[in-house]
Amino acid sequence: MREDETLKVAIAETSVIIRSGLALVLKHVQGFKILPIEVISPESLLDCIRIHKPGVLIINPTFPVLFDVRKLKEETREFNMKCIALLCSVSDSALLKNYDDSFSLYDEPKILEGKLNKLLNVSEEIVTAGGQDMLGGREKEIVTCVVKGMTNKEIADALFLSAHTVITHRRNIARKLQIHSPAGLTIYAIINKLIELQDIKEYL
């Protein structure tokens, strides 16, 4: 993600001391402009994610009982949200298999900073097939056109749209997928079978 973007990080933990302390640490993490969002109860978790759409969820795996991370992403449609387990005690590694990463309450802030860098700067351009459901039909058409190397004017002419409408769609696509480069969109389109590899080669 770009340095001027605000990263929303939801913190799901029942202990106000741990939750508030982590929020304070996040505000001072270098390389990110972080907006911490404290989630005080399991009942408010889904609403918080749907309303604020955080890029990262840091959650105690026993908040207050074990829950399914994949089901959480499906219910909220936030497939690109990174989930980090906040370990306050020893946990079974099998319980953490669906998390993107984890860190201990006793880790130094630099550890958390490193994990955020790894998750957001390295892997944000690789979108799994589940992300396809985030786009509408017209948006998928525009992704295909962009991958083929078409300009905004060419896309507008081909789809009978104004250039302004095409630009608006492209902004929405970038926001939904968190992909900001043609290379990233190409990977997305291939993974989600929006275009065949040989179709791309024709335009290279």
Where would I find the beta strands (DSSP E) of 41-80?
56-59
Which residues make up the CATH 3.40.50.2300 domain(s) of the chain? 6-122
Place of tokens 């074990």: 66
Where would I find the beta strands (DSSP E) of 13-163?
33-39, 56-59, 82-87, 101-104
List the chain pLDDT tens, one digit each, 204 residues.
555 578 899 999 988 888 888 998 888 887 788 999 999 888 889 899 999 999 999 998 888 666 678 888 888 888 889 999 988 776 656 678 788 898 888 888 888 888 888 887 644 444 444 455 578 888 999 999 998 889 999 999 999 888 899 999 998 888 888 787 777 788 788 777 888 766 664 544
User: Residue 61 has what pLDDT?
Assistant: 86
Domain 6-122 -> CATH class: alpha beta
Which residues make up the CATH 1.10.10.10 domain(s) of the chain? 129-201
Q: Of 155, 175, 174, 179, which is closest to residue 165 (Cα–Cα)?
A: 155
Q: Supply angle C-alpha 83, 84, 89, rounded to 5.
A: 140
Tell me which fold the domain 129-201 belongs to: Arc Repressor Mutant, subunit A (1.10.10)
85 beta partners: 59, 102
0.95 exceeded by the pTM?
A: no
34 beta partners: 7
Sign for the CA dihedral angle at 122, 54, 128, 65 comes to: positive
